[in-house]
Every structure is written in structure tokens, then in C-alpha cells.
Chain A
Amino acid sequence: MNHQHLSEEELVLRYYGEERDPADAGRRLEECGECRALYASLQRTLNVMDSLPVPERGPEFGERVWRRIESRLASRPRLWLGWAPWRWAAAGAACAGLLALAFLAGRSLPRAQSPTPVAAADPQVGERILMAAVGDYLERSQMVLVELVNADPKGPLDISAEQARAANLVSEARLYRQTAAYAGDAAVGGVLDDLERVLVGIAHEPSRISPEALEKLRERLKNEGILFRIRVLGSNVRREEEPAGAPAGQRL
């Protein structure tokens, strides 16, 4: 019987859930190893796109944008009402926010990366690249969690910046789970699964979190031991990144 392979176009549509006949495409994928291999390759590529780097902009970026556009804003009819209550609240919050942002930015600015060449075709190098990415992912996740754990607000706390970072990390999660699957590492996969659930939870909290809700979140992090687990995992991954001959890392 002649088998008609799924085209790359059909596979792209399947990845995005836009194929015309999902059942037929599924059956053909099951029957054909070649199609499955092509689909897996496509999945890997599209999943890895989620790690597309976007240059960081510091907390001062908004102010810079404002300075550039301020003079170009057409004047709108102005109703001067003096300092409305929100201005007083905003002034206080802005001072506190700027201090916090400056602190956070200092901690989260990316390290300079030189565009050094890569031996892309070597599978071992491929594995190390992926594991390095997992290490970086864990480090960034840990930073978000630590900032929340260490926050000590007297009133509601604006966690929208941490939520944005958590949401970005969630969008990258697929790639890293897949990496763990390729490496056949169920322990790593398990930690990544739990971490993703925690990050999703953070992303879905209200952006102004009450001290009580923050305490609950802290309790949850503590009970699940997630911070400890990602610290250990991160340290194992870093050890595995070391060149051959270095002592093997301890598994979770």
C-alpha cells in the first residue's frame, strides 16, 4: 500500500492546531516513522523559538520613551485639578518602586554574551547547549521565586513585573521539558513540571497581591520545596555542562 507522507506544511498546521483533518493527520503520523521524525524535528524547532532573546530594557526605559514623545503630544484640553489623591499615592509608590526596580534590575541584568561560533552539528554539543539553556532557565526562575519569597510588604504589593517574567518563563517551559525528555531524565522533567505549575500560579495571581496571599504563596513554595529542588537541579545541570573528565554531578 502506498503511503502518502504528510507535507511540511501539513505538519506546521498540525503543530498550531490548524490542520483540516486532525484524525487523518494523527493516523498518518502513527503509521509513518518518517513523518513522525519530521514532525519531531519541527516541534523541536518551534519549541526552541520560545527562547528567542529580546534585549533587556531597564526600568528607566519608560522614562526615556516619555522624554522622547512628550513634546510631540498634541495638547489635550487640560482640566487642572491640583494634585489628585492618586498623585500623592503614585508619588510615594513611584519612589518605592524605583528603588525596588533598580535593585531588581541590578540583579537580573543579563550577562554579556559574545557571539562565539558553535559546533552545531555535534550531538554532544547540542545536548550541552540544551542543558546550558535549562541551567539558565532554572536560574531565572529561581530569581523570580526568591524575590517573591523575600518580599516583605506592609500592604498590597505590585508583583506585575515578577508576573511578566513568570509568564515568559512558562512560555519557555515546553522547550525545557522536551529537553529533559530527550535526555531521558524523568527527575529533571518532574521538577520542571512542578516549577511550571508554580510559575503559572504566580502569573495568574492578581497583580497587586495582599500580604496574606503572598504569605500563602510563600507557604506553598516552602511546602513543595520547589526552591530547594531547583537549586539542587541547577547545580547538577551546571556540573553536567562541564567538559568531559570533570566529576559527574549528583542526580536528584
Chain B
Amino acid sequence: MEPTDRAFVASARTGDAEAFRVLVERHSRALFGLAYRMTGNESDAEDVVQESFLRAYRQLGKFDERSSFGSWVYRIAVNCSLDLVRSRQRRSEAPRPAGPEMEDPIDALPATGPAPDRIALGGELRSLVAAAMARLSDAERSAFVLRHFEGMRIEEVGRALGCQPGAAKHSVFRAVQKLRRALEPAMSPVK
């Protein structure tokens, strides 16, 4: 029978790197999803995943064994993502050039739009969503991800981002406003 995370955490705490390896292999993909939403960039998201596990390994001694390793390392990944986003802001650096999956299809739109037969319908809605997210500032994106995907209340978002609730609220509003303007034309009721 496959052992639980708890057994591997206990072994990793004694210095068993192989046990920690199992934890890394189990949780990397979930962490990548979160980090990608937070950073908007595959390469940054991979950095966040690596940094999260490094931090987790160093802090294993502080981990409360009664809690879930998955939730704990997820929380670390949120903080790592925020650190990366903040360091970008400090350097006033634009996000790294997006990978092909984040290319903005809206930018390629001719004024009148293409004929329906040119449209690859299957993934188009998702492409529009990705493009709209890519247009948010780092502050807007991280506030929105924490509020919308992580379910944090505005006040918690403010605490996580190290800003006043008012500023967090403003970032969420700005994000929603931008997203609505970008997506609404494709979302109009059909009847």
C-alpha cells in the first residue's frame, strides 16, 4: 500500500532526501497551477515551484504534522509567488515575455473580426480568458487570483499582499473591470 504524505514527511524530517523527493513528485503539478495563475508565466511558475519546495525543505522542522503537507506547501507557494510579483514591482519590471500559450489573440484581431470558419472554437474562450489575464498588472492579477481562485476575503488579500484592504479592493475591482471589458463581447447572452 502506498504510504501517506505524513509518513514521507516524517522520514524527510530525519534527513531522508528520497522521502522528500516523493513529496516533490506528488505535489509539483498542483503547485505549478497556482503559481502559473499568480505569475502568468510558465517559466516564473516553474521557478516558484522549485523555490517553494526549497523553502518547505528548510522549514520542515516547523511543519505541524497534524496538518496537511499539501495545504502547507500550497501556502508557501502563494508566498513565493507574491515575493516574485513584489520583486517585479520593485524593479518596475514588466512580466517576462509570455510563452506561446499566453500570446494575446485579441491583439491580432482585425477591426471587423474574422469569418466564423476561421475560428477554432474549442479553445477560443480559454484563449480569450488567458489574454485578458495577461493584460492585468501584477498587483491586479495577484489580488484577483487570491480573491477569485483562492477564495480569500478582501481583507485577507490585503494582508497577503502587504497592503491596506482598500488598496486590495481597488486592485480586485480594477482587475474585474478590465476582465469584463475584455470578455463581455464574447459573453453576451444569446437569447
A residues at B contact (CB < 8 Å): 8-9, 12-13, 16, 18, 40-42, 44-46, 48-49, 51-55, 57, 59, 61-63, 65-66, 68-70, 72-79, 81, 84, 86-87, 89-90, 93, 97, 110-111, 113-133, 135-136, 155-156, 158, 164, 182-184, 208, 241, 243
Within 8 A of A (CB), among B52-100: 53-54, 57-58, 60, 99-100
What is the CA–CA distance of A122 and B99 in the complex, to the nearest angstrom? 28
B residues at A contact (CB < 8 Å): 1-3, 7-8, 11-22, 24-30, 32-33, 36-37, 42, 46, 49-50, 53-54, 57-58, 60, 99-101, 103-106, 108-110, 113-130, 133, 147-149, 153-154, 169, 172-173, 176-177, 179-180, 183-191
* Structural contact, A129 and B121, CB atoms closer than 8 A: yes
* Structural contact, B129 and A49, CB atoms closer than 8 A: yes
Q: A48-B129, A136-B123 are in contact. Are A57 and B190 (CB under 8 A)?
A: no
Q: A40-B189, A74-B58, A126-B187 are in contact. Are A9 and B169 (CB under 8 A)?
A: yes
* Structural contact, B25 and A63, CB atoms closer than 8 A: yes
A61 to chain B: which residues have CB within 8 Å?
A: 28-29, 32
* Structural contact, B116 and A42, CB atoms closer than 8 A: no
A65 to chain B: which residues have CB within 8 Å?
A: 24-25, 28, 46, 49-50, 53
What is the CA–CA distance of A12 and B171 in the complex, to the nearest angstrom? 12
* Structural contact, B176 and A12, CB atoms closer than 8 A: yes
What is the CA–CA distance of A181 and B28 in the complex, to the nearest angstrom? 37
Q: How far is the CB of A238 from chain B (nearest CB, A)?
A: 10
* Structural contact, A8 and B177, CB atoms closer than 8 A: yes
What is the CA–CA distance of A119 and B108 in the complex, to the nearest angstrom? 11
What is the CA–CA distance of A155 and B99 in the complex, to the nearest angstrom? 42
B148 to chain A: which residues have CB within 8 Å?
A: 16, 46, 49
Interface of B is mostly: helix
* Structural contact, B14 and A77, CB atoms closer than 8 A: yes
Q: List 20 A-B contacts (CB under 8 A).
A: A12-B173, A16-B148, A45-B184, A46-B148, A53-B126, A55-B99, A61-B32, A65-B25, A66-B25, A79-B14, A79-B16, A111-B122, A115-B100, A115-B104, A115-B108, A117-B114, A118-B124, A122-B113, A123-B189, A158-B2
Q: How far is the CB of B174 from chain A (nearest CB, A)?
A: 10
Q: How far is the CB of A110 from chain B (nearest CB, A)?
A: 8
Q: How far is the CB of B43 from chain A (nearest CB, A)?
A: 11
* Structural contact, B50 and A68, CB atoms closer than 8 A: yes
What is the CA–CA distance of A111 and B120 in the complex, to the nearest angstrom? 12
Report which of B101, B121, B153, B177 forms a contact with A241, defined as CB distance below 8 A.
Answer: B121
Nearest residue, chain B, Cβ from A62: B25
Q: How far is the CB of B11 from chain A (nearest CB, A)?
A: 7
* Structural contact, B179 and A49, CB atoms closer than 8 A: yes
Nearest residue, chain A, Cβ from B14: A79
Q: How far is the CB of B105 from chain A (nearest CB, A)?
A: 4
B58 to chain A: which residues have CB within 8 Å?
A: 74
B124 to chain A: which residues have CB within 8 Å?
A: 116, 118, 129, 132
A208 to chain B: which residues have CB within 8 Å?
A: 1-2
* Structural contact, B53 and A69, CB atoms closer than 8 A: yes
Nearest residue, chain A, Cβ from B116: A125
What is the CA–CA distance of A6 and B131 in the complex, to the nearest angstrom? 28
